[in-house]
Structure 1
Amino acid sequence: MGQSMIEGTSFLFNKETCFEYDGPKLESIEYFLNVLIRDKNKVFRAETGEEQTTILFKLNEKNHDNLNEEQFSIQFSDDLSQMSVISADELGIIYAILHISEAYLGVDKFWFWNDCEPPPKANVKIRAVPYLSEVAKVRFRGWFINDEVLISTWKYQQSNTYVWEMAFEALLRCNGNMVIPGTDIKNPIYKDIARKMGLWITHHHAEPLGAHMFSRVYPDKNPSYSENGDLFKELWKDAIIQQQNDKVVWNIGFRGQGDRPFWADDPTFDTDEKRGALISKIMSDQYELIAQYQKDPICCVNLYGEITELYKKGLLELPPGVIKIWADSGYGKMVSRRQGNLNPRIPSIPEQHDLGPHGIYYHVTFYDLQASNHLTMLPNTTAFVNSELGEAFDSQMCEFLIVNCGNIRPHIYFLDFVSRMWNKDRVDRGAFLDEFATRYYPAYSDEMSRNINDYFDAIIQYGLADDERAGEQFYHFTIRNLAHQWIVSHGKQSGKNLWWATGEIEIKEQFKWFKQKVESKLTEWDTLTKNVNQLVKEADCIEQKRINDQFLIQVLIHKNGCFALYYFSRAFEMFQEKEYREAYLLLHQAIEEIKETINIMQEPMNEKWVGFYDNDCLTNVTLTLYTLETVQRNIRMYGDGPSFYNWEKEYLTNPEEKKVMLLTNKTKQLTDEGLGSKLLEQDHN
C-alpha cells in the first residue's frame, strides 16, 4: 500500500473515501449515510489523487460482538484500507455515522442552529485504534418540541420540513433517541419525519397515546369519559393501530381537553378520590388496548402538576412496569409547578420505597403567561441544573428524560448542557462554559465566558425560592396586564392575574413592587449590553453575526424589557400625580426600548434567520409595543387634548409664536413618535 494513503498507523479519510453498508434496508440509515456524504463534501472539497479507503457500516442484528443497545464499535483492517463500524441496532449505526461526522469531519452538534460550518480540509488521518462507544446514563432521552410557534412557520430555503429535519438531526447528534415531535394538530406531520430518522416517539402529557384530542374530533359532545368512554377508546385504538409498528414509549393517562385537569370541565369529579379512581381506570384500559397490538409495550405516565399530588396521596394505581415521569416546576426545580396562585411546591421526586422505573420531564424553556422564558435562555444557571438533575439521577430517575426544548435555537446552551448530563451524569459546569465559549466564540472566549456569567447574575429573582427567577415574560405579561387594568379602571383597581403582587394590595403598590424589582437590575443589564455591543463591533464577520444574533438578542430582550417595565411603572406614578406630560415621555422611553428588541428580532445580521421570530405569538413583543402605545395615546388625551397641539405649542414652538397666534396651528399635529422624540430631545438639551 502506498505511503500516500498510509502514514504510520493512521486511516486516511478524504474525498475519495467511500461508504458501504451491510445490513437490512432501513430508511433512517440511508438518510444518515446521505448526511455523512453531505458532510464529507463540505469538508473535503477536492479530490487528492490518493488511494481510496472504505468505511463499512455493518448492522449485525444477531450481535455477535456483544454490544449494548445503541452501542457501536470501530475497527480497522490490517492494511488500513478499511474502517469497520459495527452495531447491533439501527440507532447504533446512526450514532456511529454522526460520531464520524463530528469527531473526524468537525461538524458541530448545532451546526445548523448556531451557524457553524466545518472548516475545509484536504484529508483527516485517524489513528487506527479500536473504539467502543459509551452507554448513555439515561435509557430514553430526548426533546419535547413544544410551544414551537417559531419553527412551525419559519422556513429555510423555502422548506419547513428541512427545519424539522435539522431539529431531529441536532437531537441525534446530542445522542438523544426520543422525541415528542411538536404539539397538537401538526404533530402527525412531524412525527412521520422523526420516525423516518430513527427516533423513538412519545407523547404530550395532554395527548395520551398520541391520539387526536376528543373535542377536535367531537366538538359537539361533552369530553367526559364517564359519558363518552367508548368514543375515547376509539380514538386511542386508532392511534395505537397507526403506531403499532413504530418505536413508541406510550404515554398513558388522562388530563383533559387542553393542558389542564379534566375536572375543570367536569364538576362531578369533586374529590381527589374520584379523580384518582377515574385516572387509574383509564390507564388500565389504555394499557390493555396497547397490549392487543404491540408485544411488551413500553409505557410511561406523567406525574405532572395536579397528578403529582394524587400520586403522592396514594390515589393512583398504575399498570406494572410503567415509567413514572416526574416534572420540574417549569423553571428547573424538581417540585410541582404553580397552578395560578396555588403553589404547593410538592417535591417531584420519588420516595425511597417507591420502586421504579422513574423518569423526568424537564424544562429549559417554559410558557406560563407570567414570568417564564420562551425567547431567552432558562433564567437559572447550569450549576442549578447540574444539582437538580444530579440529585434526580441519584434517586434512580434514569429511565427517561424528556426536555422541553421549545424552538431550539434560543436554548442551545442548556440543550447542550443537559444532553451531556443524560450521557454522563453530572457535568463540570466551569469546563462546560469555557468549552462552549471557545467552540462558538474562539477569538473572544474569555470575554464571552464573563458575559454569559454576567447574564445570569443580572436575572431578576422574583420569588423567595431559588428557581423563582424571571424570564422575559416577566416584563411583557406584567406590562400588558397592568396596562389593561390601568386603562379600564382609570388606574384605580389592582391587577388580578399577577402571582407576586396581587390580592388585596392596591394597584399603585403593584406598580411599586415591579418597579423595585427591575430598578435593582437596570445597571447590570445596561453594562452587559454595552460590553456585548463592543464585542459585536470588534468581532470578525462570523463571530459578529453569532454574538449578535444568538447572545446580544437575548441580552437586549432582557435589558429592554427591564427598562420598559421600569419606565412604565414610573409613568403610572406620574399619572397618579396628574403629571401627564412626564408620564407620556416615560411611556415614550418604554416604547423605544421595546422597539429596539423588535428591530434586532426582525433584522438579524445573518440573513438566514430573517423571519425566525415572525410568529412570536407567545411572548409577543409586538403586542407589548401596541399596548404601550395604547396607554401613551390615552395619556395624551389627558394632557394634550382635545386640540393635541397644547404640548407642541407650550414646549416646542418659539416664544414669539406662543404669544402671536393668528392660526390655531400651521402644521398637522405631531404623531406620538415625533412628539415624544422632540419633547425628550428638548428635555435633554
Structure 2
Amino acid sequence: MFGFQKRSGLFFMRRILHGGLIEALSIALVMMIGFASCAWSESRFNVAKHVPKDAALQPILVDGDTPWLVMTADYENPAIQAAIRNAERDWYKVFGYPPVIFRDVTRRAWSGPVIAFGSAANTKHLFESNVPEGKEQFRLTTSEVKQNPAITVVGSDTRGTIFAIYTFCEEVLGVDPMYLFTDNQPAKCGAISLAADFDIVSSKPTFEYRGWFINDEELHDGMHRDPLGGNVISMEWMDKILETLLRCKGNMIAPESAPFSDASVYELCKRRDVVITFHHILPVGLNMMDWPKKVPFSFVDHKDILVDAWTKSAKVLADKKVAWTIGFRGESDGAFWNSDPSAPKDDAGRAAVIAEAMQTQTDIIRKIDPDATIIAALWNEQGRFYNDGLLKVPDGVCKMFADDGRGFMRDKGDGSDLDPGDGLYYHVMMMMNTQNRTTEGVPPARFYSELKRYVEKGATKYAIINVSGIRPAAMSVEAITDFLWDANPGLRSSPQEAMKEYLNDWYAKEFGPVLAPELTALRLHYYDIPYMREQMPIQGRWRGARGEHLIQYLTQELLKKYGKAIQNGEDLRAIRGFETQFQQAKEPLAETAGFFPSLWEQTKQLESKIPADRKDYYQAHFTYQVAVHMYSCRMLSMVNNAFDHYGQNRDALAFADEMELALEELEKLLEEAHRAEYGNWDTMFMHVRLMDMWRTRLLLKESIAMIQGEPCTSGYRGIMNGSFWGSAQAYMDHGDGVFPYFYRHSGRGLEVLENRNSIPVVANEQR
C-alpha cells in the first residue's frame, strides 16, 4: 500500500492506494520501527550518534499535524522569523497542511511529538540542547520537551538558529537548498519517521565569512528588476537569493555590482542577518561606478573629496553587519590612473597612492568600529603590485587574493604569500568575453585544488564567490559554497575523486540515485570540451579553461571588424590585424569537430531516461549547455571557412551563402535555448546581454543582407541596443539623491546621518 524511499536516514511514506490514513500510518509505523537504527549516512553535516536518555524512546513519527514549538523571543527576531516562514512553506509543500504552532509552551492536551525550533538561549528553560559553543552552531536531535517526545532544532545564535531551521528543511523534509534555481520540489508524503538516535551536530565552518557576489546581474535585472528603481534587483527576488544563500550555509553577500551605500537592499540584508560586503569598485561601500560629473576625481590633487565621500558612505552603513573592503581603483572599474591625469606614471608611484588610499579608508572605518573586519581587495593591478612587493597593506587587514576569472588563483601558488586570516575572491561565472555566461564552466576539482593551500595556511577569514546569474551554474555555486562551509570532503581525496563524489551526490539529489552515475559521467565528458580544458590543444592567445562566450565573441568580432570590408570587396589580408584576429578565431576550435558528436549522443540518450518532472531542468542543465558549445563552434567554424574562402576568391556572394549556413547553426542553438525557457525562466535568454546571442544573429543577418542587397533592420536589439551596462546606468541615473547617496536625505535625517557623535556599531558577538 505504501512506497518507502530512504533519504538521509529518514523514511518517506507516500500513499499509493486509497484507504484510511490512520490505518495506513499504523501499518507504516510498525514497518518502520524495524528501521529505527538506520544510519544518517547521506547527511552533509557532522553526525554524532548517542544513546537516548530514555532507553524506551522510540522512533518519532512526524506528519502534517505534528505541532511546532516556537519561542516568541525568537520569532520577534526578523531573521529567524523569515526562516520560520520559509520552513512553514516547505512543510506545506511536503505534507499539504500548514503547521500548528505552539508559542513558548506545549499544550497539556497534546501528548504526542513536537518539533521545537529556537535559539539555545531562548529554549534552555524547556530542554537542554547541547548545541556546540561558538558562532553559527546548531544541533538537531531527538529529545523530550516536558511530557512530549520531540525533535529539537536549535542554534547557538541568530544565524545558527537560521541554519538549524534550514537544515531541518533539507535533511528532514527533503527540500533542495537550491530549489529556487534547480526547480527541484520536495516529494509529497504522509509521514516521516526519525530514528531514536537521529542527531545532526554542526562543527566550526572552514571559512568564517562565506559569501556570494551577484555580479553582472543581467539575468536578475532582466527578469526581476526593481519596479521602484531603488535597486537593480527587486527586493522580492533578492530576498529569495538571500534565502538560498542561507540554506547553503552562506552568511555574506555583495548584493549587486554598484549599489549606493544607502540602498534599500542593505536593509534587507540586515533583516536577514546576512553580512554585507563589497567588491573592489566599492571601497568602504562607495559606488565608484557612478562618479558625479564635473567633480574632480583624484587622490593626488583632491584627496578631501574622496575622503568626504568615503566617510559619508561608512557612516550610512555603520548600523549594518559589514565586512568592509578597501582598495583604490578608478571610475567604472578601471585603474585609477586612467581617471586621474595627475597620477604617477610608474608602478611604484601608483602603488604608493593605492597604499595611502587604503590606509585612509582603514582609518575611517576604525573610527566607526575599532574591531571591524576589513578586507584589502587585491584585484587586478592591486594584486600585481602586492605580488611585486610594491604595495603595503595596512596592518590588521585581511588580504583578499583573487583568481583570474577562470578559476586559477593569482597568488604565488605555493602558499608562501598566504597568512592566517587572509581570504579570497573566486569566480564560478565571469564576464570577460571568454568565459561561461549561460553554463557550468568551472569544475569543482579546480577549486578543490586551487583553494587547498588557503585551507592549509589558515587563510580562511573571508571568501566571496562571483556567482553572477546563479541559475546557469547552480551546481558549482552550491559545490563551492559547501566547500566554504566544510572543506574536508573536497580535500580528503584527490581533486578529481572528490569532484566525482560530489557530482554523484548532487545528481542523486537532483535526478535520483539511479541516474546519478551516468549524469556524473556526462558532466565529466562535458568538462573535457577541448577549449574548456586547462590547456587547449592549441596554446595561443586563449591558453585554456574558456567558456561558450569566447566562441560567440570571436564570431561577433570577425563580423563587426571585417564584414564591411567584404561588402566592399576589399582584400582582408591587406587590413592590419586581420591575420592575427583570424588565427585567434581558429584556436579554440581545435579538436571540437570530432569531440561533440559523442557528447551530444550521450546527452540525448540520457534525456530519454530522465523522469518527466525533471526533463525541463535536464534541458536547461545539460542539453542546452552542450548545445550552446556545439552549435556555437559549428557556427564559428563555418564563419572561419567563409572568411578563408573569401580570402582565396574574393567572392562576397559565396561568403553570404556560407553565412546562411552559420546562421542555421545559431538558430538550432536558439531552439535549444527556448526549450530551456519555462515557468519562472520563460524569458531567461532574452536577458543574456553580455554574451549576446541575439547580437550574433543580427550581425549574421545584417552581413548577409548587405551583401545580397536586401533590406535589413539593425545589428542591435532593444531600446538600449542590448546593453546590460546601459540598463545598470539607468538605475544609477534614476536616483534623485546627492552623491554618495542614492536617496535625498534632508533635515534631521541628514544631520543624524552625517554629524552624529555616537554611531551604533554592531558588537563583535553579533557579527
- When normalised by structure 1's length, the TM-score is 0.83
| Deviation sequence 1:524-575 (CA, Å, 0-9, x none) | 2233224323433453321211111222111111111111110000011122
Aligned match of 1:177 in 227, 251, 255? 251
Q: Retained in 1: the 8 A contact 2:706–2:712?
A: no
Aligned to 1:662: none
CA distance in structure 2 between the partners assigned to 1:262 and 1:18 by the alignment: 56
In 2, Cα distance between equivalents of 1:60 and 1:459: 55
Residue 386, structure 1, aligned to residue 448, structure 2: yes
Question: Which residue of structure 2 lines up, in the alignment, with residue 27 of structure 1?
Answer: 78
1:21-67 Cα deviation digits (max 9, x unpaired): 25453211111110111111111115999945231312429999661
1:422 aligned onto 2:484: yes
Question: Which residue in 2 is equivalent to 1:106?
Answer: 174
| Alpha-carbon offset, residue 493 of structure 1 | 5.5
Partner in structure 1 of residue 437 of structure 2: 374
Which residue does 2:468 correspond to in 1? 406
Deviation at 1:183, TM superposition (A): 0.9
- Matched residue, 1:396: 458
Q: Which residue of structure 2 lines up, in the alignment, with residue 664 of structure 1?
A: none
Q: In structure 2, what residue type is equivalent to 1:34?
A: R
Q: 1:138 is matched with which residue?
A: 207
Structure 1 match to 2:600: 529
SS state at 2:61 partner = strand
What amino acid does structure 1 have at the position aligned with 2:116?
Answer: I
Corresponding position: 1:77 with 2:144: yes
Q: Cα distance, 1:208 vs. partner?
A: 0.6
1:190–1:464 Cα change, 3 Å: farther
Alpha-carbon distance, 1:466 to partner: 11
1:40 correspondence with 2:95? no
Aligned to 1:432: 502
Structure 1: distance between partners of 2:84 and 2:482: 25
Q: 2:94 touches 2:186 (CA, 8 Å); kept in 1?
A: yes
Q: Secondary structure at the match of 1:226?
A: coil
Aligned-partner Cα distance in 2 for 1:572–1:324: 48
Q: Which amino acid aligns with 1:44?
A: F
Corresponding residue for residue 163 of structure 1: 237
Whether 1:209 aligns to 2:277 is no
For 1:152, the aligned partner's letter is D
Flag the structure with more relative contact order, 1 or 2, with Cα contacts below 8 A and sequence separation at least 6. Answer: 2
1:279 aligns with 2:354: yes
- Superposed displacement of residue 519, structure 1: 5.0
Structure 1 equivalent of residue 308 of structure 2? 234
Q: Which amino acid aligns with 1:314?
A: G
- Pick aligned residue for 1:15 from 35, 48, 64: 64
Helix, strand or coil at the partner of 1:309: helix
Of 215-224 and 506-515, deviating more is 506-515
Question: Where does residue 547 of structure 2 map in the other structure?
Answer: 471
CA distance in 2, matches of 1:34, 1:53: 17
CA distance in 2, matches of 1:512, 1:192: 51
1:305 paired with 2:368, answer no
| 1:329-344 paired onto structure 2 within 5 Å | 329-335=404-410
In structure 1, the residue matched to 2:416 is 351
CA 1:143–1:492 in 2, change beyond 3 Å: closer, same or farther? farther
Q: 1:489 to 1:269 in 2, by over 3 A?
A: farther
Identity %: 22
Q: CA deviation at 1:104?
A: 0.2
Check 1:605–1:274 CA distance in 2 against 1; reply closer, same or farther (3 A cut).
Answer: closer
How far did 1:160 drift? 4.0
Shift of the 513–613 alpha-carbon distance from structure 1 to 2, 3 Å rule, reads closer
Counterpart of 2:144 in structure 1: which amino acid? S
Equivalent residue number for residue 106 of structure 2:
none
Whole-Å Cα distance in 1 between the matches of residues 273 and 582 of structure 2? 52
What does residue range 240-639 of structure 1 map to in structure 2 within 5 Å?
Answer: 240-267=314-341, 268-335=343-410, 347=412, 351=416, 355-369=419-433, 371-378=434-441, 380-425=442-487, 427=490, 428-442=498-512, 444-460=515-531, 461=536, 463=539, 468-490=544-566, 492=571, 507-508=578-579, 510-515=581-586, 517-576=588-647, 577-604=649-676, 606-637=678-709
Relative distance call for 1:594 and 1:23 in structure 2 (3 A) is same
Aligned-pair CA distance for 1:622: 0.3
Paired with 1:115 and 1:196, the residues of 2 have a C-alpha distance of 26
Q: Does the 8 A contact of 1:482 with 1:495 survive in 2?
A: no
Identify if the C-alpha distance between structure 1 residues 364 and 670 changes in structure 2 by more than 3 Å, giving closer, same or farther. Answer: closer
Unaligned stretches of 5+ residues in structure 1:
336-345, 497-503, 638-643, 645-668, 672-685
What CA RMSD, in Å, does the superposition of the two structures yield over aligned residues?
3.1
Q: Could you tell me how far 1:217 is from its partner in structure 2?
A: 5.2
CA displacement at 1:387 relative to structure 2? 0.9
The 1:194/1:492 distance shift into structure 2, 3 A limit, reads farther
Once the two structures are superposed, residues 148-181 of structure 1 have per-residue CA deviations (whole angstroms, 9 ceiling, x without a partner) of: 1111221499994332222222211211111111
Deviation at 1:255, TM superposition (A): 1.1
SS in 2 for 1:81: strand
Q: After TM superposition, give the deviation of residue 212 of structure 1 in Å.
A: 2.8
Pick from 221, 240, 243 the counterpart of residue 152 of structure 1: 221
Q: 1:513 to 1:144 in 2, by over 3 A?
A: closer
Distance 1:287 1:140, change over 3 A: same
Q: Cα gap change, 1:11/1:618 in structure 2, threshold over 3 Å: closer, same or farther?
A: same
Q: CA, structure 1 residues 437+58, in 2 after alignment: closer, same or farther (shift >3 Å)?
A: closer
Check the 8 A contact 2:140/2:154 in 1, yes or no: yes
Given that 2:511 and 2:610 are in contact with CA atoms closer than 8 Å, whether structure 1 keeps it comes out as no
**2:703 counterpart letter in structure 1:** V
Instruction: Give the distance between the partners of 2:602 and 2:180, measured in 1 at CA.
Output: 27
Query: Where in structure 2 are the equivalents of 1:636-651 lying within 5 Å?
Result: 636-637=708-709
What do residues 192-223 of structure 1 show as CA deviations (whole Å, max 9, x unaligned)? Answer: 3322211111001111111232x735211221
Cα drift, residue 406 of structure 1 = 0.8
Q: Distance in 1 between matches of 2:604 and 2:400?
A: 42
Verify the 8 A CA contact 2:314 2:365 in the aligned structure 1.
Answer: yes
Deviation by residue 1:52-101 (Cα, 9 ceiling, x = unmatched): 52313124299996612110123411755333333332110110000000
Change (3 A) 1:535 1:606: farther
| Alpha-carbon distance between aligned partners in 2 of 1:269 and 1:464, rounded to the nearest angstrom | 33
Provide the residue aligned with 2:3 in structure 1: none
* Contact 1:308/1:348 (8 A) holds in 2: no
* Aligned-partner residue type, residue 395 of structure 1: K
Return the letter of the residue paired with 1:479: T
Cα pair 1:492 1:507 within 8 Å, conserved: no
In structure 1, distance between residues paired with 2:573 and 2:522: 38
- 1:53 paired with 2:114, answer yes
**Contact in 2 for aligned 1:146/1:404 (Cα 8 Å):** yes
Structure-2 change in CA distance of 1:364 and 1:624 (3 Å): same
* Cα distance change on mapping 1:327 and 1:156 into 2, 3 Å: closer
Residue in structure 2 matched with residue 640 of structure 1 by the alignment: none
CA distance in 1, matches of 2:504, 2:541: 28
Say whether the 8 Å CA contact 1:23–1:59 is kept in structure 2.
no
Counterpart contact for 2:214–2:254, Cα < 8 Å: yes
* Contact 1:202/1:251 (8 A) holds in 2: yes
Residue of structure 1 equivalent to 2:726: none
Deviation at residue 492 of structure 1 after TM alignment: 4.5
Deviation at 1:394, TM superposition (A): 2.3
Paired with 1:200 and 1:116, the residues of 2 have a C-alpha distance of: 27
Q: SS where residue 150 of structure 1 aligns?
A: helix
- Find the aligned partners of 2:672 and 2:409 in 1 and give their Cα distance: 34
After superposition, give the CA deviation of every residue in 1:371-426 in whole Å (9 maximum; x if it has no partner): 11111212x43222221111332233211111100100011121122122212225
Does structure 1 conserve the Cα–Cα contact (< 8 Å) formed by 2:511 and 2:611?
A: no
